[in-house]
Amino acid sequence: MEVSQNFHLNSKHSAGGGGFRLTSTELTAYAVISFVVVLWFHYKWSRRHFERVAAKMTGPPSYPIIGSGLEFVGTPQQVIERIIKLFEIYGSEPFKIWLGTSLGVTICKPEDVQIVLNSSKALEKDKFYKFFKNTVGEGLFSAPVNKWRKHRRLITPVFNANLLDQFFPVFNERNQILTRSLKKELGKTQPFDLWDYIANTTLDIICQTAMGYKLDTQLNKESEFAEALTKASELDSMRIYKPWLYPDIIFSIYRKLTGLHKVYKTLHALPNQVIKEMKETYTQRKMKNKNNTIDDTDGDKKHFKGFLDTLLELNEAGANFSDEELRDEVVTMMIGGSETSAITLCFCLLMLAIHQEIQDKVYDEIFEVLGDGDQTITIEDTTKLVYLEQCLRETLRLYPVGPMILRQLQDDVKIFSGDHTLPKGTTCVISPICTHHIPELYPNSWSYNPDNFDAENVNKRHKYSFIAFSGGPRGCIGSKYAMLSMKVLVSTFLRNYSVHTDIKLSDIKLKLDLLMRSANGYPVTIRPRDRRPTYKKN
């Protein structure tokens, strides 16, 4: 009786001798907890395929929500150092790396790289590529698969030998300006940064070949477009390292509050204007032609046909590119063909400055092909510059401009290593910086050795041992353009100057923003070339 009374007195939840009654607050709390528990179990169940694969792999530490994000916190130099360190720790076997709550699996071995890059289930770019859309829109680089398929099919035939041959007068003209501009550095003992000259040259070349527009940053460095291009790249890369800016609406507000939205507006203003003017010119030329086709002659002068011209011709044939799509493809080509080439050229010339014996060998080949005159280089000449191409490829191997390629699987894909089946939704992190430094493929992989790319050594290796231009159906469409333009610049440079530096290979430090580049620039000095083959010198 006493126990019953005590129970009655101490319980505020009894009623009419019945059981407990919960307050509305308690009911809400229990409902929320139950809902969270159900959500958690549903979340874990839906991710069981990822968890199963991840359990079989090693990888860096992971934490809730941020995943392995702490590995990528720091300065651009610290980030690339940590990425390289990860590959030193885990080797070339696949390892897991949680990208927030998404499973990432690194793919380094050429056999696995080939499977992923050639799979129809791995054509979609990862969601991180959306950060570039403010700059390049939905061009071939960042377009979703459906749009990419259509545009790639239409644009691929554009990059034929005839179009590339038309670009050579532009290559030669712009490199002659480079040669004249460099004269001010002769006789100086203090090194200058190659970037200050090379970047302007590649930008002027790509503007003229892509849009038919002479930007002239080599002669007039005060260019709003060039400045906007640099700032847009910095802004996109900054966003990658600041997760709070990932949501588009937050980033949009941030841009407006800081005034940075003007950067993208300025970047797109020039292509938009050029497209408008060229469409008008294109229509006028067509109207003047009795056969209702494009007149490629202007008196005795042949009309220069650039990338944008060919896109407009495709439109006439029924491609139906909108003005926005034209702009996106042109800007994609311009960014892909300017900074990437500039970085590779600066690294290549720096390597030749460090390795004088290799520079001499390159020059001897140039002298053998072009002689000691001032004739301009042709597309046929470039095919004979075999050792120079080896040097460029070795530069791209050692310092791949894009050290990471991210693909999101649209279905399960099985790879050789570890007999893993990667589930749909996995992000495949394909890493040229890892593949290019596998010791079994490239002995002394952090040294500079152009012989890695002589015919005999290339034939010994798997085709996907070199992926500087990616590979498979979604590989770089402008790889031939890039190689030709870089051959012209390096050969023109070395015909006029020898390049020198006091730094060593071990002094070079890397940094990663959107692209991988030298953290301390590309310091060199130059001397006039006496235009004699080095092998004849005493």
Bind-site residues: 476
Instruction: Report the C-alpha gap between 217 and 195 in whole angstroms.
Output: 13
Q: Which long-range contacts (CB under 8 A, 24 or more apart) does 341-344 make?
A: 341/202, 341/206, 341/482, 341/485, 341/486, 342/195, 342/198, 342/199, 342/201, 342/202, 342/203, 343/399, 343/401, 343/515, 343/516, 343/517, 344/392, 344/395, 344/396, 344/399, 344/401, 344/482, 344/486
Q: Which helix (H) or strand (E) holds 104?
A: strand 102-107
Annotated binding site for heme: 476
Instruction: Report the C-alpha gap between 59 and 68 in whole angstroms.
Output: 9
CB 204 within 8 A of CB 172: no
Contacts of 129 (CB under 8 A, 6+ apart): 141, 142, 406
Instruction: Report the C-alpha gap between 209 and 168 in whole angstroms.
Output: 10
DSSP lists the bridge partners of residue 518 as 510
Instruction: Report the C-alpha gap between 322 and 267 in whole angstroms.
Output: 18
The one-letter amino acid at 450: P
DSSP strand pairing (301-302 vs 297-298): antiparallel
DSSP lists the bridge partners of residue 427 as 104, 408
Task: Name the nearest CA neighbour of 351 among 394, 320, 321.
Answer: 394
Structure tokens at 280: 């008008």
How are strands ordered across the β-sheet holding 96-99? 96-99, 102-107, 427-430, 405-408, 124-125
Instruction: Report the C-alpha gap between 109 and 419 in whole angstroms.
Output: 13
Instruction: Report the C-alpha gap between 389 and 366 in whole angstroms.
Output: 11
3-state helix, strand, coil in the chain (%, to 5): 60, 10, 30
Q: Which helix (H) or strand (E) holds 224?
A: helix 224-240
The one-letter amino acid at 397: R
Residue reference for tokens 């960042």: 142
Sign of the alpha-carbon torsion through 455, 457, 460, 466: negative
Task: Name the nearest CA neighbour of 418 among 140, 55, 30, 42.
Answer: 55
Residue 152, CA distances (Å) to 118, 145, 167, 338, 470 in order: 15, 10, 21, 20, 15
CB 215 within 8 A of CB 208: yes
